[in-house]
Structure 1
Amino acid sequence: MMPFLKRIINKTILRTWKPGGTKTYTHYNPTRAYRNFIITTKRYTKDFILITIGIFLAAFGFKGFLLTNHFIDGGATGISLLISALTDIPLHYLIIGVNVPFIILGYIIMGKEFAVKTILAITGLSICLLTVTFPNVTNDNLLVAVFGGFFLGAGIGFAVRGGAVIDGTEVLALFLSKKIGATIGDIILMINVMIFAAAAYFLGVEVALYSMITYMVASKTLDFVVEGIEEYIGVTIVCLHSEEMRQMITETMGHGVTVYNGKRGFGKRGESQAVDIIYTVVTRLEIGKLNSEIEKVDSNAFVVMNSVKDTRGGIVKKRPLH
């Protein structure tokens, strides 16, 4: 390890402070501390790159499409765009002002790191809107609604992948869901209904309808960027040929498996039979191949599939950008 990096690690990762102010060092192995330092540095670097990409994509969606046509989106960005259209207050001020309450809530609910990243992301977006010039791409209303929503949704999605938000509505929805018992999706829907109703009243029904298209495109693009094209599927298989099934999954599919003991219960008398139960995780794109291979091994296998939000460790194909 280079002496310079060793000094940094000793003064940061390995250092603790006693109440009296005396400096002491933990017994962590410096090599392990160095590895943790590298992992943390890579994570923050990746987050910075993703948030930066998100800032420029969102700014392009705003200035290249939405602002000149007075279209809005849902959430905090929609509120900012609506106020900007009605008052001529520059959007770069409103983006910060409208999101301040959400940043405070984010600090309370999500913690300091999330709040700091969100402050940097929103401030960066505001500066980008103020200083960077983007061309007005088109004045066709449908193209503005679709592609404005696409770039805005992509920008928000990349920021989320970097651990920040540039639209704090979901933070508010998370907070309210704990208070009133409604789901996050229901709360976001209610907020957006009020925003688009206000847009219809102040900007006209046609603008509000196009803005709803913008919101739907942005929402789908956000989901695509955050979740990716691949969705994880957890597969539980109960069959009499468990060893052959395990070999098929590990060798043919190239995935890891978990095998645990169970009992099959069947018949009117409640007869049971010991059996190995196999669990694995594949991507949605591999389901067709897996079903075909299961059919080859045991056409009578009992198979249960359910969606999995994400995975960590093990042998499973990872999504891009993770």
Structure 2
Amino acid sequence: MTKKLFDFFLVTVGSLISAVGFNAMFLHNHIASGGVGGLAVSFEKLFGWTPATFVMASNIPLLVLCLVFLGRGVFLKTIYGSLIYPVFIQMTANFPNVTDNQLLAAIFGGIILGAGLGLVFLGNSSTGGTGIIVQILHKYTPLPFGVVLVLIDGLVVGISLVAFDADTVMYSIIALITISYVVEIISTGFNASKNIMIITKETKEVRDYITNTLDRGVSQWPIIGGFTGGTKEMLMTTVSSIEFPRLQKEILKYDETAFIIAMPASQVMGRGFSLTKQYNKATDDILPPM
């Protein structure tokens, strides 16, 4: 129950932040950065349609398609965000335009909107819109998710050529790239990890530190030096990005000549990461509990 309430909190706050970015940065600067929001910017210029009304009206049939083609589970995760977002757009409609510089609006509006959408995604929801179409096409066609996303958002940005000049469309593309980058950082940044490989003459001390003090698992591999032909032991462990500086400092305390390789790990699943350290051990588990 606590997790669900926290998810609702994230979706609510994220939708509010996104709505503020939309009204204070994008709308008056004609930044049509993909999605139903981008269409709302173009159609507001072409037909005078109120953005909040258009987003709400568009989401209703899209939610029906979501229920039919993607199932009840996805529908329930999507419905709250897709309905609360246009409500917040209407509530923040009178926010003053922060800047008349389209480049600044594209970059900083993209940061604000991306941060809001990132929080919504962390809350296991979405703001609906063309994201539903992307999910449907990805499910029922052989096209990769990224390709479908680019095609749909590219189509929306292309439509804005009817309403705005080429310079404005290019600013919209900058905004779209900024949003995608910020969403990616927020989605993975809180769980960023590093895969560490260590070759040291103090293998036992470093291994004991990782397992006993840092409370992480570690693998020990025999290796052969390509130049000398000598045998050594290599340690491999995975830690959070926050833990890495501490680990590096301690390794160099034991052996200032230690060879350390740190590689980004975009997704880590298992104990201490996707499973809690208190996860009950099964008899056939490959790794011991963290």
* Pairing 1:156–2:156 present: no
Amino acid paired to 1:234: N
Mark the runs of 5 or more structure 1 residues left unpaired by the alignment.
1-40, 316-322
Inter-partner Cα distance in structure 1 for 2:88 and 2:57: 16
- Seen in structure 2, the aligned counterparts of structure 1 residues 244 and 170 have a Cα distance that, compared at 3 Å, is farther
Inter-partner Cα distance in structure 1 for 2:226 and 2:95: 71
* Pairing 1:115–2:75 present: yes
Query: Corresponding residue for 2:172?
Result: 211
- Seen in structure 2, the aligned counterparts of structure 1 residues 296 and 169 have a Cα distance that, compared at 3 Å, is farther
What is the TM-score when the length of structure 1 is the normalising length? 0.68
Give the CA deviation at 1:130. 2.8
Matches within 5 A, 1:254-269: 255-260=214-219, 262-264=221-223
Offset from partner CA, 1:103-153 (integer Å, 9 cap, x none): 456557875344224211121122223344532133413333233323222
Q: Which moved more, 1:57-66 or 1:99-108?
A: 99-108
Offset from partner CA, 1:55-108 (integer Å, 9 cap, x none): 211221222222233221123322333233322222223223434465456557
Work out whether residues 118 and 186 of structure 2, in 8 Å CA contact, stay in contact via their aligned partners in 1: yes
Offset from partner CA, 1:203-227 (integer Å, 9 cap, x none): 1112212222222232233223323
Inter-partner Cα distance in structure 2 for 1:112 and 1:191: 24
Sequence identity (%): 23
Mark the runs of 5 or more structure 2 residues left unpaired by the alignment.
279-290
Inter-partner Cα distance in structure 1 for 2:234 and 2:31: 57
Query: Corresponding residue for 2:196?
Result: 235
* Pairing 1:51–2:6 present: no
Inter-partner Cα distance in structure 2 for 1:279 and 1:52: 37
| Larger CA Rg, structure 1 vs 2 | 1
Give the CA deviation at 1:42. 0.8
Matches within 5 A, 1:75-224: 75-100=35-60, 103-104=63-64, 106-107=66-67, 112-142=72-102, 143-224=104-185
* Pairing 1:308–2:266 present: yes
Inter-partner Cα distance in structure 1 for 2:262 and 2:118: 31
Query: Corresponding residue for 1:29?
Result: none
Amino acid paired to 1:279: T
- Seen in structure 2, the aligned counterparts of structure 1 residues 139 and 263 have a Cα distance that, compared at 3 Å, is closer
Structure with bigger RCO (C-alpha 8 Å, 6+ apart):
2
RMSD (Å), alpha carbons? 3.5
Inter-partner Cα distance in structure 2 for 1:266 and 1:108: 58
Query: Corresponding residue for 1:32?
Result: none
Inter-partner Cα distance in structure 1 for 2:185 and 2:170: 23
Work out whether residues 68 and 136 of structure 1, in 8 Å CA contact, stay in contact via their aligned partners in 2: no
Inter-partner Cα distance in structure 1 for 2:121 and 2:164: 30
Inter-partner Cα distance in structure 2 for 1:281 and 1:63: 40
SS of residue in 2 equivalent to 1:69: coil
Aligned residues: 270
Inter-partner Cα distance in structure 2 for 1:177 and 1:119: 20
- Seen in structure 2, the aligned counterparts of structure 1 residues 174 and 121 have a Cα distance that, compared at 3 Å, is closer
